[in-house]
Amino acid sequence: MTGPTTLVLALLLPLVTSLWVALTGERRANLRDGGMVALGALLAPLLATLVPAVAAGGRPRLELVELAPGVPLVFELEPLGLVYALVAASLWPVTALYGVGYLRGHHEHHQTRFFVFFSASISAALGIAFAGNLATLFVFYEVLSLSTWPLVTHHQDEEARRAGRVYLGILMSTSIGLLLLAIVWTWSATGELAFRPGGILDGHVDDGLLPVLLGLYAFGAAKAGLMPVHRWLPNAMVAPTPVSALLHAVAVVKAGVFTILKVVIYVFGLDLLTRTGASIWLMWAAAFTILAASLVALTKDHLKERLAYSTIGQLAYIVLGAALATPDGLLGGGLHIVMHAAGKITLFFCAGAIMVATHRKKVSELVGLGRYMPWTFAAFFVGSLSVIGLPPAGGSWSKWFLGTGALQAHQPALVAVLMISSLLNIAYLMDVVGKAFFLPPPDTTVRAGYREASTLTLVPPLITAGLSLLLFLGGAQVVELLRPVVGGVP
């Protein structure tokens, strides 16, 4: 099977799954859900077949149609996109499995509609990962915003309506008002929109305007949650937990940082940013977001909101990696897409499992629950380790590279920011683990006699927690895959 064919198949697979879900429907729920997970499990192996070719320097490419003269819809897979696609593809079937358990445990309505949009948004995420130019990336970026809106507003009540307004309001206004503007600007200045190693902007845009253009991209891709355009993410937490786990910790938010990484590497180019210093302000904007989000997370008692602010902080790590514009910084950013995904999805899975089993949503209500749900909280502990960046979890690698990247950029102060942030991460995440394991349960908890949630909601967090540990061992492979991207040579 050739590379381009695989790309098409990979894009179609989630859509086929969507169709399958729609056709089988609520009355054949077991068939629907079984088929969905089975189809979903095919995606990652399918993409994995592309790894050897891409690692060897191949760039599977497929040009479809011309959206406007000179602006084709084109897919071209490079290592960074492959890594992002693999992350989304591997975690999708696990989340689908979890989603089945979660929605059934909660007796949610309209499960078919939920899974239709859920699967479709994976296709949009893959479109972003495969995008071969800025226009294609923008197309799927918008599709992803729109296809996840029905998931955010799934409950169709007043709260969902409000959250939906904030969600689309921020994501659409930034993407149309800033991102599209930046793309039009780039197009007018350079006459092309392609992603080229080494960048396309050099010599086309006045040096003094480069920071402005970079800002349009960085805030235009509001899915990256850079403050002050981060408000949509905590709002999106009203969605059912599988959405928060896969989309608002992995696929959607990573689409934002992925966009920024791609733009820095393939539109600006590292040399241009290093020479002009156009991205120095962005380092500090990211550093501010890292610290501020962690501080806000400390104040949140609602577990999912705390995790959401944690995500905002962790995304800013990746933006920081991009802004450093040094090889190690970008490697760290790319790695963190993977590491944070595995860690944070585990935390969300656990939060959802706790909700299903005990209907508790606040950290203060989790006191002593560890002895009733040991596996869930053990998984939470491992996920926390990875997010904090401690061995033996995968997150340690990305933080390491980010640190050395900051030194390469001669910004030792940023290393301090990273360390302070890690301490803050410990404070707000270990707080949960500590309360659950080391404090005695109050009487109400003892009387209720809680047990672990159903198998379908318990197994996925264990899988992803295991994955976080495996990534500690496998980090080097990801680094090797990504290294050609930052080396400047394809």
Partner 1 sequence: MIDAVVQHLPAWQVVLPLLGAPICILLRRPAWAWAWTVLVTWATAACAAVLLRTTLDGGPWIYEMGGWPSPIGIVYRVDPLAAFVLLIVSGVGAVVSLYARRSLTAELQTTRHDLYYAAYLLCLAGLLGMTITGDAFNVFVFLEISSLASYVLVGLGPDRRALTAAYRYLIAGALGGTFILIGIGLAYQMTGTLNMDDLAQRLPPVSHSRTVLVSFAFITVGASLKLALWPLHHWLPNAYTYAPSVTSAFISATSTKVMVYVLARFAFGIYGEPFAFEELGLGRPLLVLALSGIYVASAVAIFQTDVKRLLAYSSVAQIGYMILGISLATPAGVAAGVLHLFNHAVTKGGMFLAVGAMAYRTGSTRLEDLRGVGRVMPVSTLAFVLGGFGLIGVPLTAGFVTKWALLEALWAEGLWPVAIAVLLSSLLAVVYVGKVVETAWFHEPSEALRARAEAPVDLLLPAWILVGLSLIFGVWGAWTTGVAREAALRLLGGA
Binding flags for partner 1, 59-98, as an x/- string (CB under 8 A):
------xxxxx-x-x-------------------------
> Exactly one of 57, 169, 277, 442 binds partner 1 (CB under 8 A); which one?
169
Compute the least distance from the CB of residue 111 to partner 1, in Å.
Answer: 16
Compute the least distance from the CB of residue 357 to partner 1, in Å.
Answer: 30
Assess 166 for contact with partner 1 (CB under 8 A).
Answer: no
Assess 185 for contact with partner 1 (CB under 8 A).
Answer: yes
Assess 212 for contact with partner 1 (CB under 8 A).
Answer: no
**Which residue, 59 or 110, has its beta carbon nearer to partner 1?**
110
> Exactly one of 176, 209, 423, 439 binds partner 1 (CB under 8 A); which one?
176
Compute the least distance from the CB of residue 233 to partner 1, in Å.
Answer: 19
- CA 411, CA 416: separation in Å to the nearest integer? 10
**Which residue, 59 or 165, has its beta carbon nearer to partner 1?**
165
Please list every residue from 97 through 116 that binds partner 1, using CB under 8 A: none
Question: Residues near 203 by Cβ (< 8 Å), separated by ≥ 6?
Answer: none
Please list every residue from 423 through 462 that binds partner 1, using CB under 8 A: none
Considering Cα of 195, then 197, then 198, then 204, what sign does the dihedral take?
Answer: negative
Compute the least distance from the CB of residue 475 to partner 1, in Å.
Answer: 36
The dihedrals phi and psi of 10, each to the nearest 5 degrees, come to -65, -40
Q: What's at 243, amino acid-wise?
A: V
Assess 180 for contact with partner 1 (CB under 8 A).
Answer: yes
> Exactly one of 9, 51, 160, 367 binds partner 1 (CB under 8 A); which one?
160
**Which residue, 177 or 412, has its beta carbon nearer to partner 1?**
177
Compute the least distance from the CB of residue 128 to partner 1, in Å.
Answer: 12
Please list every residue from 129 through 158 that binds partner 1, using CB under 8 A: 135, 138-139, 142-143, 146, 153, 156-158
**Which residue, 1 or 68, has its beta carbon nearer to partner 1?**
68
CA distance to 325, 329, 349, per residue, from 243 (Å): 32, 29, 10
Assess 172 for contact with partner 1 (CB under 8 A).
Answer: yes
CA distance to 14, 21, 452, 456, per residue, from 37 (Å): 11, 10, 23, 12
**Contact between 80 and 258 (Cβ < 8 Å):** yes
- CA 123, CA 50: separation in Å to the nearest integer? 17
Q: Hunting for tokens 């819809």 — which residue is that?
A: 73
Interface with partner 1 by CB under 8 A: which range of 50-58, 185-193, 330-338, 455-463?
185-193
Closest CA to 453 of 382, 385, 391, 369: 369
Q: Hunting for tokens 């401690």 — which residue is that?
A: 390
Assess 291 for contact with partner 1 (CB under 8 A).
Answer: no
Give the tokens for residue 280.
């120095």
Assess 15 for contact with partner 1 (CB under 8 A).
Answer: no
Assess 177 for contact with partner 1 (CB under 8 A).
Answer: yes
Compute the least distance from the CB of residue 185 to partner 1, in Å.
Answer: 7
Assess 165 for contact with partner 1 (CB under 8 A).
Answer: yes
Summarize as ranges the residues that interact with partner 1 (CB under 8 A): 65-69, 71, 73, 135, 138-139, 142-143, 146, 153, 156-158, 160-161, 164-165, 168-169, 172-173, 176-177, 180-181, 184-185, 187-188
